[in-house]
Amino acid sequence: MKEVKLVDYFAKIKLDFSAFQDLLASDKTEALKQVYFAHIKAFPYSNFEIREAAHQHPVQRNALTFFNHARIMNQGGYCFQTNALLYSALTQLGFKPIFCAARGLVGKPVNDASVLRLPTTHVVLVVPIGGQQYFLEPAMGMQAPRYPILIQDSKDPIIQDRDEFLFYKQHDVYVLAKKMRGNWFNLMQSTLVETSEKVLHKNLLGLERFPNPVAIRDEKTLVAVVTDKGSKALYWDMSSTQLKFMRQEDDVFTQEVIGDWKLACDLLESEFSIKGISEAQIKKYCSPLSIPKPKRRWEIDFPITVKDLERMEENLTYSP
């Protein structure tokens, strides 16, 4: 596994490394809380790389990356990347984090059939400290828990500043839910069983290549980050076709429709510290997919040659 340089990581999350080492020696739980909160403020969730893949030909789609620390340090990243970065930093700091495969629920019931039909495309972390275990979910965007959650046999509400969460076990899975507009909104479910890197790479391949629609890949674009006073996001989906900038500060929620791609790029830099995304790129990410369909049926023998690919391209028609 490629390791992040701690000096660069701590500079990015704006923590004093020397002071943090003193805290780590005296209170490991508080140190975990501090580094996690700094991490989710410094590294926005971003599915740009996934959206880029979604617009590519399924046969020639670029592989999604897992341990891509250089990218996430500059442009944020999706769940595999931000968890891998946090895992690398925590491991070097002496923690013993484990990866756990998970499923995003996005408001759906636990073990909903529509969720179980999809590949397992989410990942979270569990960190043991002194006989207790803490749940970390740094990739839930505006809805991410602000601090690690102690895993225990309870369904009592968990108050984190102005946010309220539930984290409980239902049958064979643990469930994370957040109170939103007075109602409980399911965010994710996981068995919290340790998942090997080999299996996670397989799950990432499912996110990359699964033939049926996967919402986070095919239907929406999202950049989101937690702030000291709340959270903010730049969001587009197929249902509204509008790019929106949303901000939650204390009890005040604001939303603005962004109709200019240059303004969108400016917001990426000023609000999320994301550079290097062009107007053409953000326009593409906020556009419906052109799905390739065959004009006529064909048969092909493996291995596929360059000429085979050329014939396949000629036999495709594209429609949104």
Listed by start position, the domains of the chain span: 6-285, 290-320
Q: Taking residues 52-63, report their average pLDDT.
A: 83
**Cβ burial, residue 164 (10 Å; 0-12/13-18/19+):** middle
Q: Taking residues 48-71, report their average pLDDT.
A: 85
For helices 28-42 and 79-92, the axis angle rounded to 10 degrees is 140
- Supply the pLDDT for residue 309: 80
22-36, 65-79, 117-131, 143-157: range with lowest mean pLDDT: 65-79
- Supply the pLDDT for residue 273: 94
Q: In whole angstroms, what is the distance from residue 57 CA to residue 61 CA?
A: 6
Q: Taking residues 120-135, report their average pLDDT.
A: 97
Angstrom distances, CA of residue 48 to CA of 78, 161, 273, 278? 8, 30, 14, 12
Q: Is the pLDDT of residue 155 over 60?
A: yes
Most distant pair of Cα atoms in the chain: their distance: 68
b (16+ CB within 10 A) / e for 287-302: eebeebeeeeeeeeee
Please write the tens of the pLDDT for every residue from 247-286: 999 889 999 999 999 999 999 999 999 998 999 999 999 9
Q: Taking residues 293-317, report their average pLDDT.
A: 79
Per the model's pLDDT, the better-predicted residue between 21 and 67 turns out to be: 21
Q: Taking residues 297-319, report their average pLDDT.
A: 78
Q: Is the pLDDT of residue 237 over 90?
A: yes
Q: Please report, rounded to a whole number, the percentage of residues in the chain having pLDDT higher than 90.
A: 77
Q: Is the pLDDT of residue 84 over 90?
A: yes
Q: Taking residues 62-89, report their average pLDDT.
A: 89
Q: Is the pLDDT of residue 221 over 80?
A: yes
Q: Taking residues 130-158, report their average pLDDT.
A: 96
Q: Is the pLDDT of residue 318 over 70?
A: no
Q: Residue 258 — φ and ψ, nearest 5°?
A: -100, 110
Q: Taking residues 156-178, report their average pLDDT.
A: 96
Q: In whole angstroms, what is the distance from residue 274 CA to residue 191 CA?
A: 33
Average pLDDT, the chain: 92
> Which tokens belong to 53?
């893949």
Q: In whole angstroms, what is the distance from residue 206 CA to residue 50 CA?
A: 12
Peptide bond preceding 303: is omega within 30 degrees of 0, i.e. cis?
Answer: yes
Q: In whole angstroms, what is the distance from residue 203 CA to residue 46 CA?
A: 18
**pLDDT confidence tier of residue 291, bands split at 50, 70 and 90:** low
> Which tokens belong to 6?
């701690």
Q: Is the pLDDT of residue 319 over 70?
A: no
Q: Is the pLDDT of residue 303 over 90?
A: no
**pLDDT confidence tier of residue 295, bands split at 50, 70 and 90:** confident
Q: Is the pLDDT of residue 320 over 60?
A: no
Q: In whole angstroms, what is the distance from residue 22 CA to residue 28 CA?
A: 10
Q: What is the pTM assigned to this prediction?
A: 0.90
Q: What is the CATH number of domain 6-285?
A: 3.30.2140.20
- Supply the pLDDT for residue 1: 64
- Supply the pLDDT for residue 184: 97
Q: In whole angstroms, what is the distance from residue 105 CA to residue 188 CA?
A: 5
- Supply the pLDDT for residue 292: 66
Per the model's pLDDT, the better-predicted residue between 143 and 308 turns out to be: 143
Q: Please report, rounded to a whole number, the percentage of residues in the chain having pLDDT higher than 70.
A: 98
Q: Looking at the DSSP assignment, which residues form a beta bridge with residue 150?
A: 134
